[in-house]
Amino acid sequence: MSRRHSTLRTAARRIPAPAVPKSTKPLHTGHLRRGSVPEVKAVLTDVEACPMVRFLREVLACHTITTTTWRECSEIPGTFVRKAHWFAPLPPDVPQTFAKLLRIPETIAGTSVWRLKEDGGKLMLVQHSYTSDVLYGERFKMQSTLVIQDSASGVSVENFADTIWTTPLPWTHAAVKHFIERKVRIDTASTAGDLVRFIEEALGGRETAAKAEC
């Protein structure tokens, strides 16, 4: 069974419990002007208006997105998991030499899996994204981690990212490995502000809806 077509339960076994990376600093830190940690959890677990799915659609240009609901995970008690399948165009900043070497098609089919945990007033979300449409795609996955917690200036959102290699690339592909790892970090740093904005707008939408019901 390919990773693309695996069930949520199978995919969840491959994604670890969320944790604050200790060997690196966040690539981006944002602050929410409204809301609380429990309210952020509420918008992240909103199946219909989840900021993570909006990020896939509006920032990464993913389309034909299908998702599961959030489900409590028996593999790691106290956590919830969700999975999405999507299609996305070939990023314009991928050099043609790498695109040909990795046999990247014009449209890529991929998967994202999320694991969410709330612990001691801290909300942590880890995401794995991967594709089988790229040569050696089964050897790596892109991991990002959100850490959301109260801070002196409100609710902070820290974003970490890394490339997880399950099997090393051939030594002849060292340049490709460097490009992938660098792109993951640069893309995360440059787009993390959009995700913070989406979370904040989702919080605002909940506030407006709550006022309308009063």
Domain ranges of the chain: 8-17+27-204
**Paired residues of 110 in beta bridges:** 86, 131
Band of pLDDT at residue 4, cut at 50, 70 and 90: very low
Q: What three-state secondary structure class fits 89?
A: strand
Alpha helices in the chain (DSSP H): 8-12, 37-44, 51-58, 96-101, 174-213
Average pLDDT over residues 72-98: 91
pLDDT at 156: 95
CATH placement of domain 8-17+27-204: 3.30.530
Average pLDDT over residues 67-89: 94
Please check whether residue 19 is in contact with residue 124, taking contact to mean a CB–CB distance below 8 angstroms: yes
- Radius of gyration of the chain measured on its C-alpha atoms: 17
Task: Say how many CA atoms lie within 13 Å of 155 toward its Cβ.
Answer: 23
Distance CA 74, CA 68 (A): 16
Band of pLDDT at residue 5, cut at 50, 70 and 90: very low
Q: Output the CA–CA distances (angstroms, integers) from residue 5 to 33, 73, 82, 115, in the order listed.
A: 39, 19, 14, 18
Share of the chain above pLDDT 70, in %: 95
Average pLDDT over residues 48-54: 95
Q: What three-state secondary structure class fits 63?
A: strand
Mean pLDDT of the chain: 90
pLDDT at 212: 73
Please check whether residue 4 is in contact with residue 111, taking contact to mean a CB–CB distance below 8 angstroms: yes
Say yes or no to pLDDT of 90 above 80.
yes
153 exposure class (CB count in 10 Å sphere: 0-12, 13-18, 19+): exposed
| Sign of CA pseudo-dihedral 57, 105, 95, 129 | positive
pLDDT at 214: 61
Average pLDDT over residues 133-145: 92
Band of pLDDT at residue 2, cut at 50, 70 and 90: very low
Band of pLDDT at residue 6, cut at 50, 70 and 90: low
Distance CA 50, CA 39 (A): 13
pLDDT at 128: 96
Nearest by Cα to 128 from 38, 2, 23, 17: 17
Say yes or no to pLDDT of 39 above 90.
yes
130 compared with 208, residue with greater pLDDT = 130
pLDDT at 22: 78
